């Protein structure tokens, strides 16, 4: 993709994108994540499989800063998420792309405008992002639908637009929740391959699914979650790194300092933006 506002770090500098150790989390009741150890590196695709209500979505919520851990150690993009103030939290969220199971759009806005929404929230000018947005639509095969209202999209097309929107901010972490749900095998595998392609720009990618066969043919690490407990299932899985050895250096050195024109850091994921604007 064209780099109108370049990513200022490289894969070797980043190291681990996500590192959880002894993590516990829940909502109003009991813990739904129990003593979780999990990691994903820059340029890596991690497939997280498990049955319904196993904790997949909750683990993604922790990664995208929507569910605070109750206990444990948790690094996301080099930041200890248990110690973030609101400004740092909002800034960090700008580096996370999220593809929800049921993407939310502003239905009467064009496909182009929905994909560009995170960039508008970030106060980018159309002249800065137009070429990137059109390139993203080409990437997901919807360049001819750029001016169509989002409400006219098919189920599969909505998933592809959600991927383009999640990638619009050039995130360092991409999390996708059941992106193949409701699609046939060929359609689901295409969606998985589209998401996995972002490893080529150095992003860490986590895909949660009940159907790990959708990831067949993708070079990925495999994890399984059940009853809130996570286990890496790769036959050649290496021993995990120690928490202090994440390799992700201070954010100020790698492009997380604010652009002067940005002002305050908006708090957005894409779907959340759409809900706000509707």
If you average pLDDT over every residue of the chain, what do you get? 83
Q: Listing from the earlier edge strand, what are the strands of the sheet with 96-99?
A: 96-99, 173-177, 204-209, 45-49, 221-226, 229-232
Whether 176 is in a domain gets the answer yes
Residue 271: band (very low, low, confident or very high) from pLDDT cuts 50, 70, 90 = low
The gap between the terminal CA atoms of the chain, to the nearest Å, is 29
In a domain, 255, yes or no: no
Triad 173, 57, 16: Cα angle to 5°: 30
Instruction: Judge whether 75 and 16 are in contact, CB under 8 Å.
Output: yes
Structure tokens at 27: 């909502």
Task: Give mean pLDDT, residues 65-90.
Answer: 94
Q: pLDDT tens-digit profile of 155-182?
A: 999 999 999 999 998 899 999 999 999 8
Q: Is residue 18 part of a domain?
A: no
In a domain, 249, yes or no: no
pLDDT score of 262 more than 80: no
CATH number at residue 221: 3.40.50.300
Number of domains in the chain: 1
Answer yes or no: are the C-beta atoms of 26 and 146 closer than 8 Å: no
The range of the structural domain enclosing residue 219 comes to 42-65+95-234+273-277
Assign residue 65 a region (left: φ > 0; alpha: ψ between -120 and 50; beta: otherwise).
left
pLDDT in the model for residue 110: 97
- 207 found inside a domain: yes
Q: Is the pLDDT of residue 245 over 50?
A: no
Give the model's pLDDT for residue 236: 63
3-state SS of the chain is CCCCCCCCCCHHHHCEEEEEEEEEEECCCCEEEEEEEEEEECCCEEEEECCCCCCHHHHHHHHCCCCCCCEEEEEECCEEHHHCCHHHHHHHHCCEEEECCCCCCCCCCEHHHHHHHHHHHCCCCHHHHHHHHHHHHHHCCCHHHCCCEHHHCCHHHHHHHHHHHHHCCCCCEEEEECCCCCCCHHHHHHHHHHHHHHHHHCCEEEEEECCHHHHCCCCCEEEEEECCEEEECCCCCCCCCCHHHCCCCCHHHHCCCCCHHHCCCCCCCCHHHHHHHC
Residues 69 and 81: beta-carbon distance below 8 Å: yes
In a domain, 20, yes or no: no
Question: So what's the pLDDT on residue 122?
Answer: 86
The yes-or-no verdict on residue 259 having pLDDT over 70 is no
pLDDT at 270: 54
Is the pLDDT score of 99 beyond 60?
Answer: yes
Determine, yes or no, domain membership for 33.
no
- What is the value of pTM for the model shown? 0.81
Q: Does residue 57 belong to any structural domain of this protein?
A: yes
């Amino acid at each position: 993709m064209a780099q109108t506002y370049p990513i200022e770090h490289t894969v070797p500098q980043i190291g681990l994108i996500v590192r959880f150790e002894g993590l516990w989390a829940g909502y109003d009741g009991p813990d739904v994540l129990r003593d979780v150890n999990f990691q994903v590196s820059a340029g890596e695709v991690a497939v997280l499989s498990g049955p319904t209500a196993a904790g997949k979505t909750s683990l993604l919520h922790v990664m995208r800063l929507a569910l605070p851990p109750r206990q444990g150690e948790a690094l996301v993009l080099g930041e200890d998420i248990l110690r973030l103030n609101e400004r740092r939290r909002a800034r960090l969220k700008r580096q996370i792309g999220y593809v929800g199971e049921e993407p939310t759009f502003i239905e009467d806005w064009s496909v182009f405008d929905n994909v560009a929404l995170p960039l508008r929230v970030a106060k980018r000018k159309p002249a800065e992002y137009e070429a990137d947005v059109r390139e993203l639509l080409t990437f997901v095969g919807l360049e001819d639908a750029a001016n169509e209202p989002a409400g006219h999209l098919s189920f599969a097309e909505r998933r592809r637009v959600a991927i383009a929107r999640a990638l619009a901010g050039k995130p360092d972490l991409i999390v996708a929740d059941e992106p193949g749900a409701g699609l046939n095998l060929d359609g689901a595998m295409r969606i998985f391959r589209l998401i996995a392609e972002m490893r080529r720009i150095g992003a860490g990618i986590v895909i949660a699914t009940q159907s790990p066969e959708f990831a067949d043919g993708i070079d990925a690490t495999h994890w399984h979650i059940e009853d809130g407990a996570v286990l890496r299932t790769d036959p050649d899985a290496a021993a995990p790194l120690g928490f202090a050895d994440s390799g992700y250096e201070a954010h100020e050195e790698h492009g997380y300092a604010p652009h002067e024109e940005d002002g305050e850091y908006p708090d957005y994921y894409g779907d959340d933006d759409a809900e706000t604007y509707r």
